[in-house]
Amino acid sequence: MKIDALKLTNFRNIASLELQPVERVNIIYGNNAQGKTNLIEALWLLTGAKSFRGAKDAELLLFGSDYAKIEADFYKEGRVQTAQILFAAKKQAQLNEINLSSVTGLAGIFCAVVFSPSHLGLIQDGPSARRRFADTCICQISPKFIALMSDYNRTLLQRNSLLKDISYSAYLLDTLDVWDDRLAALSALIVKNRKQYLQRLAVHAGEIYSGISSEKETLHMRYAASAGLTDDIPAEQYKQWFLQVLAKARAEDIKTGCTSVGPHRDDIDFEINGVDVRSFGSQGQQRSSVLALKLAESRLISELLHDEPIILLDDVMSELDKNRQDYLLNHLSGNQVFITCCDKACFDNLQNGKAFHMVNGGLQ
Ligand code: ATP
Ligand code: MG
């Protein structure tokens, strides 16, 4: 898909803005605090997702105004379509001028992938950020996974509360087997889904990372299961393995009142040229790894949904050397890209795109 026109009204510091982006790379540049990230945020909201800055709807309205509006004309499936979100007392989204019951109705229609500095947490923060990333990606392409995860989380809560009760009422121990069995079955399915998704993602991320680093570095990612098994085995076998692991951990789990192994404790490891990125990666390597992941996600969406998502890159250029910047400007496949930066020097080498200068919430 490609955006033909974007119109913002009273969106954060942007009172009124109209943008006719080009089909390939659009650079939004300007000094700090001019509204560049605000513009990227507005584009992202058209996917029906929540703000990547964690903003509440009321914060999106220009100070002192009682509504904000995002409107876009975009080309998809051979025709021009329109999407609109009105933020007022009530939030209302429209697709092709028809009211949707919720903004999430835009999901899957308006497709985008976003990178912002806050996504660096994917490498720098604890394992829960990486699990969330993987699970959110899988949910986008496989809605059944949402039900599977909520089933698992419910079962985990019930097992944990039983573990706590057992320390007071030992006779409850007999009932633990039932929960172990259920948890093991669900764990096997979750791990299988995550591993399959990550294997596909890893192929793209590896290729992209090698492009970003001018073939000098190799990125590898690996699912690190807390249950310790790295081989790919059928779900039923994994369940049996997991039951043994639960049995071994049982005494300790009863003592602590919580389940110490399972998909809720798993992680994803990243290595560049065999070295752990989280502990040893440079700023540029960490940034490039997250970027490779995000771009890999966009390729997987293209493969599965047969549409090229828009790529939104906020403040990505800082900490990247000229070769890495050149890759982003000129070597991403056919997607429409929006990149924000402060410095004009960042896009000296732009070959197929246009730069827009943002000043005080407007374009010059
Ligand atoms: P940087 O280069 O520092 O990232 P930026 O151009 O990306 O800057 P934005 O994050 O887009 O800047 O924010 C621009 C300005 O918008 C900030 O000064 C902020 O105070 C202002 N702003 C944020 N929300 C609102 C709002 N609801 N109403 C008015 N102004 C707002
Ligand atoms: Mg910004």
137-140, Cβ contacts within 8 angstroms, sequence gap of 24 or more: 137/197, 137/201, 137/297, 137/300, 138/193, 138/194, 138/197, 140/107, 140/108, 140/301
Q: Which CATH superfamily is domain 123-278 in?
A: RecF/RecN/SMC, N-terminal domain (1.20.1050.90)
Residue 142: per-residue pLDDT: 79
Residue 306: per-residue pLDDT: 85
Residue span(s) of the chain under CATH 1.20.1050.90 come to 123-278
Residue 301 to residue 297: CA distance in whole angstroms: 6
Residue 95 to residue 10: CA distance in whole angstroms: 20
Residue span(s) of the chain under CATH 3.40.50.300 come to 2-111+307-363
Is the four-CA dihedral 125, 126, 128, 131 of positive or negative sign? positive
CA of 190 to the centre of ligand 2 (A): 36
Residue 213 to residue 324: CA distance in whole angstroms: 6
Q: Complex ipTM, two decimals?
A: 0.99
Residue 136 to residue 141: CA distance in whole angstroms: 9
Going by alpha carbons, the residue nearest to atom 5 of ligand 1 is 33
Residue type (1 letter), 128: S
Any alpha helices (H) in 29-143, and if so which ranges?
36-45, 121-124, 127-141
Residue 268 has phi, psi (to 5 degrees) of -125, 125
Top mutation candidate among 36, 344, 360 for ligand 1, by most atoms within 8 Å of CB: 36
Q: List, in sequence order, every residue forming a beta bridge with 7; answer none if it has no partner.
A: 18, 71
Residue 187 to residue 132: CA distance in whole angstroms: 16
For 313, the 3-state DSSP assignment is strand
Going by alpha carbons, the residue nearest to atom 1 of ligand 1 is 32
Beta strands in the chain (DSSP E): 2-11, 14-19, 25-29, 68-76, 79-87, 91-95, 98-99, 112-115, 219-224, 267-272, 275-276, 310-313, 337-341, 353-359, 362-363
Please tell me the number of the ligand nearest to residue 13's CA: 1
pLDDT < 70 regions, the chain: none
Does residue 337 contact residue 26 with C-beta atoms inside 8 Å? yes
Going by alpha carbons, the residue nearest to atom 9 of ligand 1 is 35
Pocket of ligand 1 (CB under 6 A): 12-13, 30, 32-38, 59, 61-63, 315, 342
Residue 105 to residue 215: CA distance in whole angstroms: 40
For the segment 74-86, what is each residue's pLDDT rounded down to a tens digit?
999 999 999 999 9
**188: CB partners within 8 A, 6+ apart:** 235, 236, 238, 239, 242
Is 37 marked as a binding-site residue? yes
84-98 per-residue burial string, b: 16 or more CB within 10 A, e: under 16? bbbbeeeebbbbeee
Structure-token match 């940034």, residue found: 287
* Ligand 1, atom nearest to 35 Cα: 11
* Ligand 1, atom nearest to 60 Cα: 27
Q: Which CATH superfamily is domain 2-111+307-363 in?
A: P-loop containing nucleotide triphosphate hydrolases (3.40.50.300)
Is 34 marked as a binding-site residue? yes
Going by alpha carbons, the residue nearest to atom 29 of ligand 1 is 13
Structure-token match 């390597």, residue found: 285
Residue 342 to residue 36: CA distance in whole angstroms: 9
Residue 92 has phi, psi (to 5 degrees) of -135, 125
